[in-house]
Structure 1
């Protein structure tokens, strides 16, 4: 079996009777109420200055990034998955599922591989997103909501020496492992799902450490293949 490799208040509705007051008092009151407007106006100016300063500081992340990777027209041809294939058998034996999307903001390509015809028991997917408008680093660390809903508790661990930032995610039961890498305006996501890590369909039993190492190796190879 696979083993592990990160107000309660009362309102007074009574209204006091209106008491007439001298004109001078009303003028003084009117003058006093003008001051909060000045403070509010000053707050707007300060807030605008802070906001503008924030845009200046983070302008590099809001600007279009320099993408260091080329678009692929067939990710399943570029994603060899050699190391994962050594664990699961030939992942290109069954016809791969390949998809692309060339949106003005993000170019995306995806590939799904599995090791058997019929009901798969070891599925590998890869996705590459090239961000053409906004630097993806601002939201890279945010986990997808669907991930938490579908897998429950997960462990997320940083992976050193891989791209600008890399995170390995493992589900509580260990059957879903995902590596996500940020580098050069691109996000690479490679994922493994297995119904079991015991011996099955002519593939040997494996463990989490081997699967994670294979994910890292095959992702590194994919990044090298698409490097512009």
Structure 2
């Protein structure tokens, strides 16, 4: 019969297998405890290789992006919203502006309304994030938890020819929309909320397609204004 190979790699087909040597209890214990260490060591090596491979694959995403836009000192002044104002009426009646500078990102927000007092017909929220540490493309286009929980039927579609990538999300009977644009390490996030697109207080009726087109035009103009 065929026996186990000798240590030097040669097969011996003539001699019967010899019984295994009996190990003393202490030696058997040492042999038993040594094997898990070998498997554990192998697992560490494999896990380290997978982790290193993952970092290599994500290298470009983890690296700080090259910013193509400047930080704004007054987003409400830079964001003119002319196309949307043509539909909703003047949106700059009571602008609210805020900027936050952080080692990871510069964030600016502008809130516009077409009515200085309540109730408000149209409200517009414009946010610009300049990411200085990590490429924002890894999570771009993922709806927020609040959106998923509160807006119900959320529809998302790609917007061509706008930045590196752009998506339009609509909800609530198309009376709300969110346009997000990724470009040059920056994320432009525009949200429009309306009580109605029908005629109201002398404002002509409009449709969601016109509001979406106006949102795209206004964000495109803002991107040009902040281009570094």
TM-score by length of 1: 0.85
Which residue of structure 1 aligns with residue 176 of structure 2? 176
Deviation at 1:160, TM superposition (A): 1.2
Q: RMSD of the TM alignment (CA)?
A: 1.7
CA contact (8 A) 2:83 2:218 kept: yes
Q: Deviations over 1:152-187 (max 9, x none)?
A: 230111111111111111114222101001100000
CA contact (8 A) 2:123 2:193 kept: yes
CA contact (8 A) 1:68 1:185 kept: yes
CA contact (8 A) 2:127 2:189 kept: yes
Which residue of structure 2 aligns with residue 112 of structure 1? 111
Secondary structure, counterpart of 2:173 in structure 1: coil
CA contact (8 A) 2:65 2:134 kept: yes
Which residue of structure 2 aligns with residue 54 of structure 1? 54
Q: Which has the higher contact order (CA 8 A, sep 6+)?
A: 1
Q: Deviations over 1:49-69 (max 9, x none)?
A: 221122122212111111100
Aligned length: 206
Please tell me whether residue 222 in structure 1 is matched to residue 222 in structure 2: yes
In the TM superposition, structure 1's runs of 4+ consecutive aligned residues that sit over 3 Å from their partners are: 22-30
Deviation at 1:215, TM superposition (A): 1.0
CA contact (8 A) 2:121 2:195 kept: yes
Rg comparison, structure with higher value: 2
TM-score by length of 2: 0.85
Deviation at 1:24, TM superposition (A): 3.4
Which residue of structure 1 aligns with residue 91 of structure 2? 91
2-structure distance, mates of 1:136, 1:226: 18
CA contact (8 A) 2:94 2:116 kept: no
2-structure distance, mates of 1:172, 1:146: 14
Structure 2 stretches of 5 or more lacking a match? 1-21
Structure 1 stretches of 5 or more lacking a match? 1-21
Q: Deviations over 1:80-129 (max 9, x none)?
A: 1111111111111x121111101111101111111112121111111000
* Structure 1 segment 4-83 matched on structure 2, within 5 A: 24=24, 27-28=27-28, 30-83=30-83
Deviation at 1:26, TM superposition (A): 6.4
